[in-house]
């Protein structure tokens, strides 16, 4: 608990690189262990499974990195465009922007006179005015737009790491032992990721880890079953 007068601190919930890293590992684990077990259900030829696993790792990592870069870059460009529009409006329509800010504060229950005084004080500094308007109107912090390249690199590395874990047993073994080891390593690794997510979000570690394990186990079971059915029908 916080003591009287203590100020609590919030986590940085807009950190694109950290978000991409955590979810990249999770996606890499679930998608590649599902792919590997799906192929293993159809064929236990270790060379085929290795090729499939490595291909899944590379394709997934590149796709994740590209998607992360495109989405974050598009978001950043959109916000930057709105920043320019807002800055121009503040420079050319100061009174209108002041009235707009006043109205926002009035809608939040602030007395009209006080809202006008606060709005005019804020609008007296163009940099602060721009930041406040963007926060109030767009709901974003212009100083935390994220780095698309860093997020993409983080996503690529983290997905590759996650996808590599269930592939390890097939690099050193084969057959049923590799199938079981790959499944167990993948499922329990997702539990560890769930624990990290729980710590970051303040949720129950047990519940979040269990949820992650169940999702991974379900994905593995479904893909292995489909692979087995396809393998049987082909033969």
Are 174 and 46 a contacting pair, CB within 8 Å? yes
Q: What secondary structure letter does DSSP report for 125?
A: S
Cα three-residue angle 151-154-160, rounded to 5 degrees: 135
Kind and range of the H or E run holding 97: helix 94-107
The 10s digit of each residue's pLDDT in 75-129 is 888 888 888 888 898 889 989 988 988 999 999 888 999 989 999 999 998 888 8
The 10s digit of each residue's pLDDT in 171-211 is 999 999 999 999 999 999 999 988 888 887 778 889 989 99
The predicted structure's pLDDT at residue 76: 87
| Predicted TM-score (pTM) of this structure | 0.76
Q: What is the rounded CA–CA span in Å between residue 51 and residue 199?
A: 35
Q: Residue 1's pLDDT band (boundaries 50, 70, 90)?
A: very low
Domain edges within the chain:
16-223
The counts of H helices and E strands in the chain are 9, 0
């Amino acid at each position: 608990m916080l003591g009287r007068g203590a100020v609590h601190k919030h986590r940085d919930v807009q950190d694109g690189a950290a978000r991409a890293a955590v979810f990249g590992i999770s996606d890499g684990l679930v998608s590649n262990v599902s792919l590997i077990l799906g192929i293993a259900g159809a064929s236990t030829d270790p060379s085929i499974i290795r090729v499939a696993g490595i291909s899944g790792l590379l394709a997934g990592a590149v796709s994740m990195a590209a998607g992360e870069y495109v989405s974050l870059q598009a978001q950043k460009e959109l916000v930057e465009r709105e920043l320019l529009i807002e800055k121009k409006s503040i420079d050319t329509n100061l009174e209108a922007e002041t009235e707009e800010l006043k109205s926002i504060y009035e809608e939040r229950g602030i007395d009209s006179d006080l809202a006008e005084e606060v709005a005019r004080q804020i609008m007296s500094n163009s940099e602060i005015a721009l930041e406040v308007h963007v926060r109030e109107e767009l709901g974003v912090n212009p100083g935390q737009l994220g780095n698309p390249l860093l997020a993409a690199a983080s996503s690529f590395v983290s997905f590759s790491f996650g996808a590599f874990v269930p592939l390890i047993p097939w690099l050193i073994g084969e057959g049923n032992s590799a199938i079981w080891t790959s499944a167990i390593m993948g499922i329990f690794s997702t539990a560890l990721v769930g624990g990290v997510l729980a710590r970051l979000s303040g949720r129950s570690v047990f519940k979040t880890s269990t949820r992650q394990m169940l999702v991974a186990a379900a994905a593995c079971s479904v893909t292995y079953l489909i692979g087995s059915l396809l393998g049987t029908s082909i033969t």
